Structure 1
Amino acid sequence: MRVSDLIRKKGSSVVTLPPTATVADLLEALDEHRIGAVVVVDEGGAVTGIASERDVVHHLRGGSGTHSPVTELMTAEVHTCTAGDDLVQLATVMTERRLRHLPVVEDGRLQGIVSIGDVVKARLDALEAERDMLEDYLRR
């Protein structure tokens, strides 16, 4: 299964913020959408960073406030994937690098986002389908 298959099933909507957003804006977006990360994009739609719940905790624990710009806490070196990437390989990369969210980028433009939960669910669904086919085959 490829990232494109997953995006087709789950949808391509991504919650984003501009680099001018504040940590308070980030907290509001995370809570409102019940998500774990927000992609920071510039005016042209290019990914400039990603900000997660972990980033917020680290930021606030360090004594910084919610009026700080999101650029102070976001991860600027964003690991991304493409629509053609294989989900099994993606799971390995996400596990090894301890990444919970990967923006899907094609031609420099944000196309979606994949979470480790999405990858695990897709893999479990594939295994369940394979099991069902094998059980059906054995019943014949």
Structure 2
Amino acid sequence: MLVSDVMTAFPAYVRLGATIRRAAEMVSVSEVGHLMVLDHDGRFVGSLSEEDLVRAMLPGFDDVTAGGGTLADAFRIFLERGRSLAERPVDPLVARDVATVRSTDELARAAVVMLDRGLRRLAVVDDGTLVGTLSRADLCRAVIYHS
């Protein structure tokens, strides 16, 4: 079985230069943990996780508590930082050296890559073009419907 047999063909993505607000909206609407990132020519350049977005806005817990702050203070700082970062581009947050697979790769190979690297989602890239994503849920679907 090939990756193309079970991949998600229309993945959620943003382009370089998109704002952090736009990326957060895309994560929220698409309900995926990773957005794929394309350059202005539509070429795949990397991914952006919801964890990367949240981490950029979160204050260090030790920083808050060391100053006598509470969890409520930490959340307030989180919201303030989120507002201040909202219009900045996602570019510095993009992971560019990410594992990818081709649509013609065997699904078993992709599963091994995902498990070995602890990945929840892989970009499916053919000749620099994003053609889909492969998630752990896609792997489970393959087992259910093709066994």
TM-score interval for Structure 1 and Structure 2 normalised by the shorter chain: 0.7 to 0.9
Whole-Å separation in 2 of the counterparts to 1:116 and 1:58: 23
Which residue in the other structure is 1:37 paired with? 34
Give yes or no for contact 2:6–2:141 (8 Å, CA) kept in 1.
no
Q: Does 1:4 align with 2:8?
A: no
How far apart are 1:125 and its partner, in Å?
Answer: 2.9
Contact 2:43-2:129 within 8 A present in 1 as well? yes
- Counterpart CA distance in 2 for 1:30 and 1:75 is 16
Q: What letter is aligned with 1:118?
A: D
Q: Which amino acid aligns with 2:39?
A: D
Find the aligned partners of 2:117 and 2:6 in 1 and give their Cα distance. 21
Matches of residues 11-90 of structure 1 in structure 2 within 5 Å?
A: 12-62=9-59, 65-90=85-110
Q: Give the deviation of 1:87 after TM superposition.
A: 1.5
Structure 2: which 5+ residue stretches go unaligned? 60-77
Q: CA deviation at 1:90?
A: 1.2
- Report the alpha carbon displacement of residue 17 of structure 1 after superposing the two structures with TM: 1.1
Q: Conserved in 1, the CA contact under 8 Å of 2:14 and 2:36?
A: yes
Task: Provide structure 1 residue ranges, at least 5 long, that are not aligned to the other structure.
Answer: 130-140
TM-score (norm: length of structure 1): 0.79
**Cα drift, residue 15 of structure 1:** 1.9
Q: Where in structure 1 do 4 or more consecutive aligned residues deviate above 6 Å?
A: none
What is the distance in 1 between the residues matched to 2:126 and 2:98?
A: 14
Please report the RMSD computed on the Cα atoms of aligned residues, expressed in angstroms.
1.8
Number of aligned residue pairs: give it: 124
Q: Which has the bigger relative contact order, CA under 8 A and spacing at least 6?
A: 2
Report the identity percentage. Answer: 31
Structure 2 length-normalised TM: 0.75
Looking at structure 2, the residues matched to 4 and 96 of structure 1 have their Cα atoms a distance apart, in angstroms, of 21
Q: What SS class does the counterpart of residue 43 from structure 1 fall into? A: coil
Q: What is the CA deviation profile of residues 2-58 of structure 1, one whole-angstrom value per residue up to 9, with x for unaligned ones?
A: 111113xx5x11222111011111010111122221111012111112011121122
Is the 2:16–2:40 contact (alpha carbons within 8 Å) kept by the matching residues of 1?
A: no
Separation of aligned partners in 1, 2:138 and 2:29: 20
1:106 has 2:126 as partner: yes
